Amino acid sequence: MDYAIGDVQGCFNSLNALLKKINFNIDRDRLYFLGDVVNRGSHSLETLRFLHSNKDNAEMVLGNHDFHLLVCALTDRHPNKKDTFHDILEANDKNTLLDYLIERPLVIEYEDSLMVHAGVPPNWSQSDVINNAALVHSQLRNENLIEFLSQMYGNLPHTWSETLTIKEKCRYTINALMRMRFCKEDGELEFEHKLNVDKSPAGFKAWFLHKNRLMKEQKIFFGHWSSLKNVDTKNIYPVDHGCIWGGQLTAYNLTNNIYISQDSVEI
């Protein structure tokens, strides 16, 4: 069986409970983590080690918290007070784990669907998504990685255009694929709101609710938005059910098309 799994955020006990619930078998099953595997929870190190040691059967897309870990580990930016990945920064296998994260993609194409941490701008086609994600991926593997990472924070540019510099294109792509919730039809991003879809800020909508969205026919699996409730939009599969906030850690069984949730067992 293949499963897409929502934001673990270092909730390794809940992940183990979920894997037990789905009878996870390393020889038979494949796991696709939808990003934010680390941070906020108490066991980021164990979670990342689990992914790394099972990398032949588990894949992940980068989420904003995973990216934040890379920035804090490799540039002079300091972790915030709420960050809980100090266990990784102090681990003796830190470099192995960071190298593993640097190699991870921003999107995964799975059969006729797409997996991404936050979402896909409504004005992007599947090839726009793949090409822009690949541009960021190539920059992460470039020898100027540290300089690149130190320039990727910030909310600008709000919109994507062909005339942007490579750095600007990457910053927009990271913000869109890893952080977006609300946007305009032309992909203009908004970062002040984290509420449910019925509370969108003026002029903005949840990225998947735009009428003329180009990727309507592809299934999209994503995490990041734990407050999403009652989403009844065709081909839209939110899988982050807020484990870190005392909610549930969820796996979507891609073979049988069902959600399986595990109540948080973090202390």
Binding residues vs Mn ion (CB under 5 A): 36, 63-64, 224
Residue whose token pair is 């792509």 = 173
DSSP state of 164: S
Pairing mode, strands 30-33 and 58-60: parallel
Q: Which residues, 6 or more positions from 115, have their beta carbon under 8 angstroms from its beta carbon?
A: 4, 32, 34, 61, 107, 108, 109, 220, 221, 222
**Could you tell me the smallest distance in angstroms from the CB atom of residue 141 to Mn ion?**
22
For residues 247 and 241, the answer to whether their CB atoms sit within 8 Å is yes
Cβ distance to Mn ion smaller for residue 93 or 153: 153
103: which 2 tokens?
């190699």
Nearest residue (CB) to Mn ion, 64 versus 139: 64
233: left (phi over 0), alpha (psi -120 to 50) or beta: beta
Query: Residue 226 Cβ, how far from Mn ion at the closest point, in Å?
Result: 9
Cβ-based nearer residue to Mn ion, 65 or 213: 65
Closest contact distance (angstroms) between CB of 8 and Mn ion is 11
For Mn ion, the closer CB: 49 or 224: 224
Handedness of CA 7, 259, 59, 106 (dihedral sign): negative
Least distance (Å) from Mn ion to the CB of residue 240? Answer: 7
Torsion of CA 165, 192, 252, 8, to 10 degrees: 90
Comparing CB distances to Mn ion, the nearer of 119 and 122 is: 119
Supply the minimum distance, in Å, between the C-beta of residue 7 and Mn ion.
6
Which amino acid does the sequence have at 27?
A: D
The residue whose Cβ lies closest to Mn ion is: 224
Find the shortest distance in angstroms from Cβ 162 to Mn ion.
28
Q: Quote the least distance from Cβ 224 to Mn ion, whole Å.
A: 4
Distance CA 165, CA 170 (A): 9
d(CA 250, CA 246): 13
Cβ distance to Mn ion smaller for residue 205 or 224: 224
